[in-house]
Amino acid sequence: MAEHHGATPVTPEEATRELLAKTRTVSTLWLLILGVLAVVGLVALIIFAMGHPTRAQWGYVMSVLAFLLGATQAAPIICFITRLAKGYWSLPIRRVAELFYVTGLVTTPLFLVMVAQLPDWTNRPTIWTNWKGGPVFYDSVFMIGLALTGLAMLYLTGLPDYAEARAMGDRGIRARLARGWMGTPRQWQALNAVLVTLGAFYLMSYVYFHLFITSDFAMSLVPGWKSSVFPGYHALSGFQAGLGLTLVTAALIRKWMHLERYIPMDAFWGASKLLLALSLLFFYFTWSELILPWYGRQPNEIAYLTLLMFGPYKDLFILSAALNWLIPWWFLIWNPIRTSIAGPAFVGAIIVVGNLLDRMRIYLASWSVADVPVGAHLDADHLPPTTYPGILEILIIIGAISAVGFCYMLAMKLMPPVSIWEFKTRLLLKVERPFLAHHEVAVVAKPR
């Protein structure tokens, strides 16, 4: 069912020329809009900070930071996973996902702002020691490390494309970035080895960083909350939203920059199976987090269960559960929806929105009880009311997300939307070959 619909197969030279040309067609109008929104968000953040908001209101800024740390930081990880597992279907959308490595530029400053808002740390249950600087120091070091690894990965994957640009006579910044890449077999082998090892490091540091975020910014704040599946749940919903975000961006870029011949339907079809699996895993983790406090019925468990799921944020919980699990599951089991482009992209958009709502539920709830004294027990009957967003909070959320979009568009001006060297490997590996007289069959090579 590969797409044979008439599109004449693209020759490698034509692909290089066309993809490099695409980088010049990045619409400056959209760049301007996102830039303005980002600046508005920054100003709103400054006004918000000067207004000495309560910790509960800081929950909104924390939820958008957690959303960015989850979705956009996780998007590039599918490239590493499919590269490790030699997943052939993901070759076209790898660059679209890898461009999200730029989020480090936005999340690091926002993270440093939020780390300063943490309540005092004396004998609070935490994975660090009692030292107030514990979370501040370790988390910031880890955050900066994660952002730098991301940027390094972004540069490395773009290296062969800069060399192509240099070969096409581009004298600007890309030529200097190419820095002596000749494409010798030794260089290719070194590039592949570096991409796999650095990707593995990025994946592991991403997963353990989520342990630090959840335990420092959520679980240590709520007295009596000790759910050990929560870091895994946080990381997994990040993966799911990352994959959803990649599909949405790939569909948009495919439409706006007319890349129909470069991003075929196979990529969306393969990704939708992975998205279905991740949505089912999302339900599985949420369920294992819900069944145990319900069954245990100890006072602190009933308290944090009501706070997070059935108390002030009940409707947020139901909405995010529906968006993250029910709708994707019910849409993606049908074959026709999976083998289309609009289907997985639409489901991806729903999952991204669901993930933002889920982060709001978690961080609003935990930051609203952050000021409860350390020894006190949470009481299930009188929990703080739901905090509703003000204008400033909404502006900050929109500003943060558009800041990431702005960096993404900038990166797209530098690198083509579909990586040239991976597109060529795709051309190399897949060939149409007659089989048994008059039957066309796609033959896919599996290099060792």
Binding site for other proteins (CB under 8 A): 1, 84-85, 123, 125-127, 204, 207, 211, 215, 219, 226-232, 273, 280, 284-285, 288-299, 302, 428-429, 431, 433, 435-439, 441-448
Nearer to other proteins by C-beta: 224 or 417? 224
Q: Tokens representing 412? A: 């797209």
* Minimum separation from the CB atom of position 293 to other proteins (A): 8
Q: How far apart are the first and last CA of the chain?
A: 25
* Minimum separation from the CB atom of position 432 to other proteins (A): 11
Nearer to other proteins by C-beta: 31 or 290? 290
- Beta carbons of 288 and 330 less than 8 angstroms apart: no
- R_g (Cα) of the chain, nearest Å: 23
Per-residue H/E/C for 307-348: HHHHCCCHHHHHHHHHHHHHHHHHHHCCHHHHCCCHHHHHHH
Amino acid symbol at 190: A
* Minimum separation from the CB atom of position 211 to other proteins (A): 7
Round to whole Å and give the CA distance between 149 and 154.
Answer: 9
Alpha-carbon torsion, ordered 153, 155, 156, 158, to 10 deg: 120
- Beta carbons of 29 and 325 less than 8 angstroms apart: no
What single-letter DSSP state applies at residue 211?
H
CA atoms within 13 A on the CB side of 338: 17
* Minimum separation from the CB atom of position 156 to other proteins (A): 22
* Minimum separation from the CB atom of position 137 to other proteins (A): 18
CA atoms within 13 A on the CB side of 246: 34
* Minimum separation from the CB atom of position 445 to other proteins (A): 4
Round to whole Å and give the CA distance between 90 and 96.
Answer: 10
Nearer to other proteins by C-beta: 382 or 439? 439
* Minimum separation from the CB atom of position 446 to other proteins (A): 5
* Minimum separation from the CB atom of position 40 to other proteins (A): 39
* Minimum separation from the CB atom of position 398 to other proteins (A): 34
Task: Provide the 3-class DSSP secondary structure of residue 146.
Answer: helix
Q: Tokens representing 44? A: 């709103």
* Minimum separation from the CB atom of position 46 to other proteins (A): 35
Nearer to other proteins by C-beta: 46 or 428? 428
Q: Tokens representing 148? A: 């730098």
Nearer to other proteins by C-beta: 183 or 299? 299
- Beta carbons of 154 and 411 less than 8 angstroms apart: yes
Round to whole Å and give the CA distance between 394 and 159.
Answer: 38
Tally of residues, the chain? 448
Bridge partner residues of 130 (DSSP): none
User: CB within 8 A of 24, min separation 6: which ones?
Assistant: 413
Residue whose tokens read 């990045």 = 26
Alpha-carbon torsion, ordered 245, 251, 256, 261, to 10 deg: 140
* Minimum separation from the CB atom of position 122 to other proteins (A): 13
* Minimum separation from the CB atom of position 167 to other proteins (A): 21
How many C-beta atoms lie closer than 10 Å to residue 435's C-beta?
Answer: 11
Nearer to other proteins by C-beta: 35 or 125? 125
Round to whole Å and give the CA distance between 93 and 268.
Answer: 9
Task: Provide the 3-class DSSP secondary structure of residue 383.
Answer: coil
